Structure 1
Amino acid sequence: MVRLVPGSDLPAGGLARREVVRDKREEIIHTEALILRGALASKEDFVPASHKEIEGVKAVSISDLRATLQGRVISPGDPDYDKARSTFYGGIDRRPAAIVQVANAEDVSRVVSLVREDGLELAIRSGGHSIAGHCVTEGGIVLNVSAMQSLHLDVERRVAWAGSGLTAGAYSVAAGAHGLATGFGDSGSVGVGGITLAGGIGYLARKHGLTIDSLVAVEIVTADGKLVYADCDEHPDLFWALRGGGGNFGVVTRFQFRLHHVGTVVGGMLILPATPDVIASFVAAAEEAPEELSTIANVMHAPPMPFLPVEVHGQPVIMASLVYAGDVEQGERAVAPFRTLATPIIDMLRPMPYPEIFPPEIPNYRPLAIGRTMFVNEVTRTMAESILDHLNKSTAQIRVAQIRVLGGAITRVPPDATAYAHRAQRILVNVAAVYEQPGESQLHSAWVADFVSVLQPVPGAYVGFVGNEGEGRIHEAYPGRTWERLLEIKRRYDPANLFRLNQNIRPAGNGASQ
């Protein structure tokens, strides 16, 4: 195993030293970096003035960055600059001064220190799935951790140290080879960094809790450039804030997760015709199901996918994903009630290794999307009628109401134990429009707003699904004492609000944060 013995923090340029104790039970898996490192030479020694968006800041020396870092620096003159600045979601066209694909924690420390000294805006990128586009900046520096993909599994102790650039899919495949897993979200391409810091709601949430409920420790570079070890004993206030407080407090370089026994699951896709009765009954069945079963129900008009019968195209359906993390025979019994709600259009439910549950990604698919996420107490037949009615009113290419039943292990953690305070919420609903023409954004925004108004949401927000929705929505994500506590921790660790390109928590006493 690998045991990290916490040591003292060192200033920028030096990393916290820890004694590493190894024995024969250690298992180390190195995943291949997805980023290919190119030559360091470039025609661009300095960022052109057209890319310096912050008045009064001195130019960033690209050549100096390249000389000091082990990772790769991409500037506007490089051939892969446009690819490197693109995000998972379309419609985001920002031109950073440089994109730094860091290789290790020391690189992170140096970039943070440079940005702090120069006053540039800093964007942190892991998987690039930020709905609000916070993973890319206009005129600032993108710190891309996606090459930090180390994974150290301790199968005996059931813990794992994961680099913050690792994807949920790569982590799950490596852990799944030993019948183990940590719950992340429902996409294999999402970076473990972003989803963990937001909370992490996924296929194992009802059985094993949110991703943060399996978080044991972190190594994080804070605004002063120091590498800090944080867990329940060391820097416990920071560790509390990182479990749901987003990227407000620094750049996490490694996460230590608890691993759970998750071998063969019963899961997959189940597509049913969507009527008010079927929708309401599906949600009721999901609430009554054992906590080993998690469901995601996408109520939508069937897209013209080749595996769907032609006569179903354009008709309202429930495209549901189900995962039962437990005994296979019990899992078959648990999913049986969903098959009886209506005659299935498609039934792909079967025993499978857990990593296979993540759907394949569509290459170069960058959707334009507008959505809103909320908590609701119930989905009645009347509400289901409203859902179908509003889906019919939209002209978007894809319009969807996604329903996730929560509960189970999520509720067993006290609401003040982490920065995610919505433990008692029962159902999470996301309404979204996916479209092709940028000029249609106002039309679809109005549709989303009208849709939300009829769903009777209760107060609260899951910060991982919040877009550019204003400061009020950030307050909803962190109600009451949670907000006050986060403000104080932000003031302690990032008083100048260096880490502000996020769902920002302004430091207490700092009214001028950007």
Structure 2
Amino acid sequence: MTAPLGRAPLSIGELTDEQYGQVIRPDDAEYETARAVYAGDVDRRPAVILRPRTADQVARVVRLARETGLTLAVRSGGHSPAGHGVCEGGVVLDLANMKALDIDVEARTAWAETGLTAGEYTEAAAAHGLATGFGDGTQVGVGGITLGGGIGYLSRKHGMTIDDLLAAEIVTADGELLQVDEHNHPDLFWAIRGGGGNFGVVTRFKFRLHELDGVYGGMLILPVTPEIIETFIAAAEAAPDELSTIVNVWTAPPFPFVPAEYHGKPILLAMMCYAGPAEEGEKVIGRFRAIAPPLADMVQAIPYPGMFPPADPMEHPISVSHNLFVDRVDRATAETILDRVSTSNAMLAGAQMRVLGGAMARVPSDATAFAHRQSKIMVLLSAVYADPAEADQHAAWLDEFMTAIRQSDSNAYVNFIMDVGHDQVREAVYPGATGERLAQIKAKYDPTNVFRSNHNIVPATS
């Protein structure tokens, strides 16, 4: 493997486990599994995969990438829709071997290493009747979801993941380990709360924990019409902050708990999570049950980890998706959603809607690098298919769908977008003053853009 002109060559044979924790080369048995990410259409072959066990080893990997000039991809859980956790011909820094978790029950805080998944953290915290809000999947790495913001089942009640981030330890582009919080490197602390992996490799996070003995939640499936969609979203907007919903209008998979006559046809599948007393949650969920006779109703009092269905670690779907915010889901929008979902011939196609607001909207928009606090509803449009040759067909369907429902909010959530250009990142993800401030901080901590395998923030020029 040769390095770019003027940089030191990379000699893979000289890299040792003692230096880097674990060295995985292209001829090693575990290489094929180790290079795979969640996105099934990402097929990149890095020169080497390094799995450090300590912050010092992380720093050594960063210095290696900087000195050789090779692309550095940082992987926490590997769930980036754009496949940013792996690169072609470069160095992958895989945090999978860094999973230490230190929970202080009395202080209600936790120091978590970045190789942990959201599921591992959530299960450990739940054993103490505590929780930090992440997203809605078990295998997502805490690193990626936190750095992008973190919108999940507790966002309306307790805010985003970054709102519970108290401090972090981060290796910067020069290989230095910094502890950042509101008093130490406050500019960098601001940037990593929503700015993604642009500023370094976070090795540990310090999170706030909330008391949560359980939730009233689970899956609620209804037949779908435009009126049902509109009514359901309106009820979610009117609900107390304790309730967060993820509403999917999908073509129904052959679930055994869905009547067979609905398989392959649109349904409304909602994940409901009431983070409060079960008796109150039952009353709130009753408003949704009354919208239409449920096809399936699995909402009940459960431990919080029960909100996260088991995931298949070998699942690598091929998909296309678009993420956007909308101001409202009125009857016309609902009609468009149902019509567009009905016209797709993908294996699974749909629109996912998350009503925002609550605690996450009460944080000032400039308090963190997540600039979309006042956005009303987040929408993820997607199509999952089996044949890569169909990519253009499904992408065209998706583009038309997005154009048809776009309203005044032109922004997007960084954790849900696929590969986009720099201009789109600046305009939709980090608009205006947020993007300008991030570019200045990037120039300070990573002026040569070592951390560029991401939705990249280009360093500001003087």
Fold-level match, TM-score > 0.5?
yes
Looking at structure 1, the residues matched to 175 and 156 of structure 2 have their Cα atoms a distance apart, in angstroms, of 37
2:310 counterpart SS class? coil
The residue that corresponds to 2:244 in the other structure is 294
Q: Residue 71 of structure 1: CA displacement? A: 1.2
The residue that corresponds to 1:87 in the other structure is 37
Q: Residue 220 of structure 1: CA displacement? A: 0.2
The residue that corresponds to 2:140 in the other structure is 190
Q: Evaluate the alpha carbon distance shift between residue 392 and residue 53 of structure 1 in structure 2; reply closer, same or farther with a 3 A threshold.
A: farther
The residue that corresponds to 1:500 in the other structure is 452
The residue that corresponds to 2:230 in the other structure is 280
Deviations, residues 213-237 of structure 1 (Å, cap 9, x unaligned): 0000000000000000000000000
1:407-426 matches, within 5 Å, as 407-426=357-376
Is contact 1:164–1:193 with CA below 8 Å preserved after alignment? yes
Deviations, residues 386-409 of structure 1 (Å, cap 9, x unaligned): 111111221111101000000000
2:138 counterpart SS class? coil
Looking at structure 1, the residues matched to 17 and 131 of structure 2 have their Cα atoms a distance apart, in angstroms, of 39
Matched, 1:367 2:307: no
Is contact 2:215–2:302 with CA below 8 Å preserved after alignment? yes
Deviations, residues 19-76 of structure 1 (Å, cap 9, x unaligned): xxxxxxxxxxxxxxxxxxxxxxxxxxxxxx4xx5855654422233215425111000
1:232 counterpart SS class? coil
1:270-419 matches, within 5 Å, as 270-419=220-369
Looking at structure 2, the residues matched to 126 and 283 of structure 1 have their Cα atoms a distance apart, in angstroms, of 33
1:64-463 matches, within 5 Å, as 64-66=14-16, 68-69=18-19, 71-457=21-407, 458-463=409-414
Looking at structure 2, the residues matched to 462 and 332 of structure 1 have their Cα atoms a distance apart, in angstroms, of 31
Looking at structure 2, the residues matched to 227 and 120 of structure 1 have their Cα atoms a distance apart, in angstroms, of 21
Deviations, residues 161-193 of structure 1 (Å, cap 9, x unaligned): 000010100101110011100000000110000
The residue that corresponds to 1:490 in the other structure is 442
Deviations, residues 452-473 of structure 1 (Å, cap 9, x unaligned): 1110231211111111122232
Looking at structure 1, the residues matched to 251 and 104 of structure 2 have their Cα atoms a distance apart, in angstroms, of 45
Q: How many pairs align?
A: 460
2:166 counterpart SS class? strand
Residue in structure 1 matching 2:416, options 465, 481, 498: 465
Provide TM-score, normalisation by structure 1.
Answer: 0.88
Is contact 1:377–1:426 with CA below 8 Å preserved after alignment? yes
Deviations, residues 347-368 of structure 1 (Å, cap 9, x unaligned): 0000001011101102411100
Is contact 2:248–2:268 with CA below 8 Å preserved after alignment? yes
Q: Residue 326 of structure 1: CA displacement? A: 0.8
Matched, 1:474 2:425: yes
Q: Supply the AA of the counterpart residue of 2:457.
A: I
Looking at structure 2, the residues matched to 470 and 188 of structure 1 have their Cα atoms a distance apart, in angstroms, of 29
Looking at structure 1, the residues matched to 184 and 173 of structure 2 have their Cα atoms a distance apart, in angstroms, of 18
Looking at structure 1, the residues matched to 395 and 5 of structure 2 have their Cα atoms a distance apart, in angstroms, of 33
Looking at structure 2, the residues matched to 344 and 67 of structure 1 have their Cα atoms a distance apart, in angstroms, of 55
- Runs of 4+ off more than 6 Å: none
Percent identity, aligned pairs only?
A: 54
Is contact 1:53–1:140 with CA below 8 Å preserved after alignment? no
What is the root-mean-square deviation in Å for CA atoms of aligned residues? 1.2
Q: Residue 305 of structure 1: CA displacement? A: 1.9
Q: Supply the AA of the counterpart residue of 1:447.
A: W
Deviations, residues 254-306 of structure 1 (Å, cap 9, x unaligned): 00000001111000000001100100001000000000000001101111122
